[in-house]
Amino acid sequence: MPVITKVQPCAKPKPATEPGGKRVTISEEPKWKKLKKPQRPIIKKEVAQIHESVVVRSNVSLDSTCSSDSSASSNETNKKVMSESRRSVKRNGFNPARVVPDAVDVATLSLSRKRCDWITQHSDPLYAAFHDEEWGVPVYDDDKKLFELLVFSQALAEHTWPAILNQRDLFRKLFENFDPSSIAQFSEKKLLTLKINGHSLLSEPKLRAIVQNAKQLLKIQQEFGSFSKYCWRFVNHKPIRNEFRYKHQVPAKSPKAELISKDMMRRGFQCVGPTVVYSFMQVAGLVNDHLLTCFRYQECNVTTKNEFKTEFKDKMVLNETLVE
């Protein structure tokens, strides 16, 4: 005969009394054991930082199997080289160059330099290089270069700067390296042959204007000694320094450009309106229209021709020193 056993109910927690007389219930297990410590969630930014640190470490230590002796000796050698280079940098008066980490892309660093707003990361590389090396640099005593820039300023009415720069070699070939004495002798037949892939390089009025301007430039050379002296006398032989912060502040023309335009047209030049002349002044460095935030503003901010030549020589010496 089966024995029926009574199941004893779980003992209820006994009430107790606090010293103040308040009744509390004493549980079998302390509350602090039941409470779990909340875990702080991992933020995505921290994960990215951890990932970057792993990438940098992996790039820095390319060979993890090197012995401790060889790594210690290489570290001592590197410290000596760095200390010597720092001493030479301080002795020469140059600022120390930044060391680029292996995980950083050099192309992104080149874009980190602040340029004028019309140069972006999507700009044509030739156009960006032209901005960094030529645009706004004062051109002294080089009539061929000045005439080339004047022709390009005229061509802007039909082409953009990137399109002109991509065809620059063809321009120089067809226009005899912009030698005014050679262009002044172009015949009607020669003008009709100035084509690229069967298409005319410029419109016929522009081509005729270039030949006419070459003839007038030769007359200016006889009167003033050079086309450079003629141009720079309008700005008292030193560049005009504008201090624009935004591209919408840069004008399309100026009173000085209107003055030069009137004088050139009076002398027989063609297609040299104030807008063309002001573009020529910008590219030839008669006016510094780099924005204040652009790294080229101070580099193009020379005062006189002698100062420009001195600064150019100093940069050449600096480049040769860095190469050595």
| Binding positions for Zn(2+) | 116, 131, 290, 294
Residue whose entry in the numeric block shows the structure tokens 């020529």: 280
Task: State the Cα–Cα distance between residues 289 and 301, nearest whole angstrom.
Answer: 10
Q: In the numeric block, which tokens belong to residue 152?
A: 């390009």
Task: State the Cα–Cα distance between residues 129 and 137, nearest whole angstrom.
Answer: 13
Contact 191, 211 (CB under 8 A): yes
From the annotation, which residues make up the binding site? 116, 131, 290, 294
Task: State the Cα–Cα distance between residues 324 and 319, nearest whole angstrom.
Answer: 9
Contact 26, 14 (CB under 8 A): yes
CA dihedral 278, 282, 283, 286 (to 10 degrees): 100
Task: State the Cα–Cα distance between residues 201 and 214, nearest whole angstrom.
Answer: 17
